[in-house]
Amino acid sequence: MSFIRRRKAPANPVRNDEEKEKDKKKVIKAKIIEGEKITIKRWSCVDSCCWFVGLICSIWWFLLFLYNAMPASFPQYVAEAITGPLPDPPGVKLRKEGLTVKHPVVFVPGIVTGGLELWEGRQCADGLFRKRLWGGTFGELYKRPLCWVEHMSLDNETGLDRPGIRVRPVSGLVAADYFAPGYFVWAVLIANLARIGYEEKNMYMAAYDWRISFQNTEVRDRTLSRMKSNIELMVATNGGNKVVVIPHSMGVLYFLHFMKWVEAPAPMGGGGGSDWCAKHIKAVMNIGGPFLGVPKSVAGLFSIEARDIAVARTFAPGFLDKDVFGLQTLQHLMRMTRTWDSTMSMIPKGGDTIWGGLDWSADVSYNCSAKKHKNNDTYSAFQNGKENLGFMKNINYGRLISFGKDIAELHSSKLERLDFRGALKGRNLANTSNCDVWTEYHDMGVEGIKAVTDYKAYTADSILDLLHFVAPKMMKRGDAHFSYGIAGNLDDQKYKHYKYWSNPLETRLPNAPDMEIYSMYGVGIPTERAYVYKLTPQSECHIPFQIDTSADGGNEYTCLRDGVYSSDGDETVPVLSAGFMCAKGWRGKTRFNPSGIRTFIREYDHAPPANLLEGRGTQSGAHVDILGNFALLEDIIRVAAGASGEDLGGDRVHSDIFKWSEKINLKL
């Protein structure tokens, strides 16, 4: 036995060495925990976030793998077994009718839907040359979050590139056919156009860097010049047939800017002359166009929020304010997005005249609880009398921001407000030296933040003053590139400046009487229109204002849920913004449309997909999903093949846009 014990003895030193190593690690860990608590916390949050995002991406890729592994006909077979035979895609249907290629087509993507790739970066971006930083898989977002934020941000003074960084738009149809794997943007429309004979020689994606101001896309990238040249080439090589332009979302404003730029003399403009649009453009088919801006942009610029983020905060209090990017998440996003000048193009235009005042708004009669029926019509409690108007009596859509639900509902005669415009700013908040990322709120001080809440309610007119107060650097850049008013005299020489070109209320349409302009958008989806805010208790390193998700209307008919008032729209753009110009501002010969370009409104009443296998639906009216709406695709293809607005049947309207437009007192 002693011999056996002696033979086992050599194992003891090995075990002792292992134990010593473990003890050593425990000591090191204890020292780190005592001396580097913040570092441990920060990296653990980053790791957790990366793990979570990686898990989601892995699941997404796995589902895509399963989907792609199926026989191509399997999803259609299952869907038809559930719902019956599916209709032919629009391209197949119209090819059977004999439609073929006629007019070249130009796509103008909106904000965030176009891909961006790296051409020059800093050390943290090694190996990413010409890799997508925006669009695609977004792999670099969760692999190198702080590096990604650094490279997606622009210079806070110029609104252009930061030193040592060049991020540029992806070119070609692939720039915006898919936003991410499996999530189409333009791909369905491109595929259906191809069914009647279109190909890349008569389709052009006018990709641009959607972060920078419209005029700066020309200054930096010559994007407007390249669009002009490509359109001229397509007309010349397609038998002289004019182009059909299809802008989407912010691309609608970008193309408005282009139409003024191309006619204006150099060096500010493209030098094409006053008849360029008449010679080269058959129709502009605007999809989901925020012609007069969107209230959603106000919430984004004010507190980097919208309904979805506000609700996420409710379910996970504090999570978005903590160290998901290694530092405060929303503060990083605010600092990054406030360098994107294009976002200021969507601040509401037309002031209180368009969007309403403290006690009125044109678009108040909308039932947010409307139910869908089999005939795809929307039942409205307000169609057959006034029995339910009591539910609407306290809605003040004109108050885009109210601090408190009671303030949102109180008559203006009872509001006691202190003007914030002359308030003192600059007293430092406590402990701002511990803040990991600077925002302009840190320069406001306690008095400045209090002054914002003391004003209590903001309409479209005062929103501009509010944004100048809380984000002066951002708005200084914005003032050089955009304007939000209503022109008094369009003959005034100041309106020749490019800052007015994307505001349809401060510029004229081209002299092109044979051209057509369409406003095509979804309806029947509650869309963000106004917000109830609160002051947050944590003001040192946090954004001091948040949407108050506890504010709710309290009944099924209410349009106030989770601190957000909703109106009719496509979930992003309210009907009032998408439809007013074609319903009234440009209808017939007006001072904004002196040549009488024909305008058409085509509304698409939202219907959700019948089942999961239908994907995002063929009758969707949602802001991006509408690009797969069969009725919209058919309208576009018919016009591209030579049809006119009258051939389509003229206006198709489901909302009250004409009724609301008549309530707006605008000199025409």
Instruction: Look at the block and give the residue holding tokens 């204002």.
Output: 545
The tokens of 134 are what?
């925006």
Q: Is 332 a catalytic residue?
A: no
Residue 161, number of CB atoms within 10 A of its CB: 17
Report the C-alpha gap between 386 and 13 in whole angstroms. Answer: 90
Q: Is 623 a catalytic residue?
A: yes
The tokens of 200 are what?
């890349």
Report the C-alpha gap between 531 and 564 in whole angstroms. Answer: 5
Alpha helices in 428-481 (DSSP H): 445-455, 460-470, 472-481
Phi/psi-derived region of residue 293, left when phi > 0, alpha when psi is between -120 and 50, beta in every other case: left
Nearest C-alpha neighbor of 538 from the set 296, 294, 321, 221: 321
- Which residue among 363, 570, 635, 651 is the active-site one? 570
Phi, psi dihedral angles at 614 (to 5 degrees): -80, 0
Q: What is the DSSP letter of 248?
A: B
Q: What is the 3-state secondary structure (H, E, C) of 355-404?
A: HCCCCCCCCCCCCCCCCECCCCCECCCCCCCCCCHHHHCCCCCCCCEEEC
Report the C-alpha gap between 577 and 585 in whole angstroms. Answer: 11
Report the C-alpha gap between 399 and 411 in whole angstroms. Answer: 11
Alpha helices in 108-249 (DSSP H): 139-143, 145-152, 187-195, 214-221, 223-237
- Which residue among 249, 297, 402, 661 is the active-site one? 249
One-letter amino acid of 37: K
| Cis preceding linkage at 526, omega within 30 | no
Which pairs with CB-CB distance under 8 Å and at least 24 residues apart come from 614-618? Answer: 614/79, 614/83, 616/184, 618/87
Report the C-alpha gap between 77 and 82 in whole angstroms. Answer: 9
- Which residue among 151, 248, 332, 623 is the active-site one? 623
Report the C-alpha gap between 74 and 83 in whole angstroms. Answer: 14
Report the C-alpha gap between 562 and 550 in whole angstroms. Answer: 6
Q: Is 542 a catalytic residue?
A: no
Residues annotated as part of the active site: 249, 570, 623
